[in-house]
Structure formats: structure tokens, C-alpha cells
Amino acid sequence: MNTLNELLQMLDSTNANTRYEACEQLRISNVSSEQVVLALEKSLKDKDLDVADAAQRAIRAEAHQQILVKLGRATPKSETELQAETLRGKARENEIKANEEKKKALASIVIVTTPLLEKHTVEEYLGIVSAEVVLGTGFLTEFSASLVDILGVRSDKFQNKLKEAKDAAMRELRMRAYELHANAILSVDLDYSVLTNNMLMVVANGTAVRVEKLTNNKSSEQ
């Protein structure tokens, strides 16, 4: 690549192709100067439209924009760039909104161990959902549990592992029900198993359903 001084000379060339090439090299350049920026601003009004367009692209390069910022006149963003930023912003807003709605929907799913939900009627059975979670208890947890077994007291570390596994299984179960557009899970059952290599497994099962809260009229009918 030519030096900045050589590119400045090329911008003053009487040959449009040479001026265009200078703009293209300045577009990918990682260095700039006030003199270069002034020359590019002059090229923005080049009588050759291709050169003017190349100068427009070049001056938007980060190295030249930094000089323009120091000069207090950064190049304003084009309409296309502004539209692209607006679209990205809206997409991000929609993504955040969708995530918030998903969190609310997951939190609203009712989980019970009974086959019916009080003051609700089952509108649709959507199928059985299940979740399996396997966690490593760790050597220290196993060691402390063995000491607890000898001493005859409770093991907080092991209990915390059980709670962690149960909570993870419940989250998975809610997610499976959410995917089926359920708002409740009935007859939930939890099974615990201790596997080899200090592994703990929790399996959760239930029936995903859509339920509707009974109104006074419906309650009286039943």
C-alpha cells in the first residue's frame, strides 16, 4: 500500500482512475491525518461521480472518523445506516420483550402433584412431560455426607445438592410444558437416584394441560 503522502499526490492526479484508487486505499487504511481528511472532503465534490462515491466510503473509515471527531465535525450517518440501526434496535427490543413474556409465561405455569387443580377445569390434555437432571455431588460433599452419617446429623451440603437438582428439574419441566403451550402440569412426580462416580439424578414427570379457572356460573353448574 502507498504511503499517506503518495495517496495525497494520487488524489490530486488528473487521472480519475488514480484518484479512485487513492480513495479505495484510504478506505482500508488504519492511519489518517488532518491533511488526508481535508483531501477526502475535497474529493467528495469530485466531478467524477465514481471518485466522489469512493471518497464518501473512504471518509467513513474509522481512522478518518477519529480525525473528524477531533476536528469537531464527524461525518453524519447516512440514511441507510440510520435505518439499519433503527432495525437493529427494534429487533433487540422485540427480543427483550419476547424473553420477558417467556419468563412470565414460564413462571405462571402451575405445578401440582394432584391429578386436578382446585377451582380449575382441564380444557385440554397436552401429553406427558419429563425432565432428567444429573449433577455431580463432588468429593467434598460425599466426604462430609459420610461424616454426617457417622455423627448422625444433617448434611447441609448434600441437601443443597438435592435442592439444586430438584430446582433444575422443575425448570426443565416448565420449559417442556411451555413448548406445548400448557399453563399447568398435573400429577407431578419426582424420583431421586444416586449413580456411580458421585452423580445424582433427579427425574420429574407430569401431565401438561391447559386449564381454565372456574367462574361462579360454571362452579354452580358442577
Query: What does the pLDDT look like over 54-90, one tens digit per residue?
Result: 998 898 888 998 888 888 876 655 667 657 777 888 8
End-to-end CA distance of the chain: 86
In a domain, 182, yes or no: yes
Nearest residue to 130 (alpha-carbon basis) of 202, 69, 62: 202
In a domain, 100, yes or no: no
Q: Which of 53, 76, 99 is a domain's end point?
A: 76
What SS3 state is found at 5?
Answer: helix
Both 116 and 72 in one domain: the answer is: no
Please state, for a pLDDT cut of 70, what percent of the chain lies above it: 82
In a domain, 85, yes or no: no
Both 64 and 123 in one domain: the answer is: no
Both 68 and 119 in one domain: the answer is: no
Please state, for a pLDDT cut of 90, what percent of the chain lies above it: 50
Instruction: Identify the sign of the CA torsion 20, 21, 23, 24.
Output: positive
Both 121 and 48 in one domain: the answer is: no
Q: What are phi and psi of 212, to 5 degrees?
A: -130, 135
Question: How do residues 158-182 score in pLDDT, each as one tens digit?
Answer: 677 788 888 999 999 999 999 999 9
In a domain, 84, yes or no: no
Both 63 and 124 in one domain: the answer is: no
Domain range holding 58?
4-76
For residue 192, is pLDDT > 60?
A: yes
- CATH number reported for the structural domain that contains residue 201 in this entry: 3.30.110.70
Question: How do residues 13-62 score in pLDDT, each as one tens digit?
Answer: 999 999 999 999 999 988 899 999 999 989 988 999 999 999 988 988 88
Confidence of residue 138 (pLDDT cuts 50, 70, 90): low
Q: What is the pTM of this model?
A: 0.53
Cα distances (angstroms) measured from residue 123 to each of 58, 208, 211:
63, 11, 5
Report the alpha-carbon distance of residue 80 to residue 178 in Å, rounded: 39
Q: What are phi and psi of 114, to 5 degrees?
A: -90, 155
In a domain, 92, yes or no: no
For helices 79-108 and 156-179, give the axis angle rounded to 10 degrees.
110
Confidence (pLDDT) at 189: 94
Q: C-alpha angle with apex 221: 215 to 222, nearest 5 degrees?
A: 95
The tally of domains found in the chain comes to 2
Report the alpha-carbon distance of residue 27 to residue 1 in Å, rounded: 12
Nearest residue to 40 (alpha-carbon basis) of 73, 82, 78, 83: 73
Both 116 and 217 in one domain: the answer is: yes
Both 54 and 125 in one domain: the answer is: no
Name the amino acid, one letter, at 211.
V
Q: What are phi and psi of 121, to 5 degrees?
A: -120, 140
Cell output for 130? 419429563
Cβ-based neighbours of 101, under 8 Å, separated by 6 or more? none
Q: Which of 76, 91, 120 is a domain's end point?
A: 76
- CATH number reported for the structural domain that contains residue 67 in this entry: 1.25.10.10
Both 146 and 191 in one domain: the answer is: yes
Both 24 and 126 in one domain: the answer is: no
Instruction: Identify the sign of the CA torsion 214, 217, 218, 222.
Output: positive
In the predicted model, what is the mean pLDDT of the chain?
A: 83
Do 37 and 29 form a contact (C-beta atoms < 8 A)?
A: no
Confidence of residue 134 (pLDDT cuts 50, 70, 90): confident
Both 131 and 38 in one domain: the answer is: no
Confidence of residue 218 (pLDDT cuts 50, 70, 90): low
Mean pLDDT for the stretch of residues 6-14: 92
Confidence (pLDDT) at 216: 63
Cβ-based neighbours of 55, under 8 Å, separated by 6 or more? 23, 40, 43, 44, 46
Name the amino acid, one letter, at 44.
L
Confidence (pLDDT) at 161: 76
Both 131 and 39 in one domain: the answer is: no
Both 127 and 204 in one domain: the answer is: yes
Confidence (pLDDT) at 82: 58
In a domain, 87, yes or no: no
In a domain, 94, yes or no: no
In a domain, 13, yes or no: yes
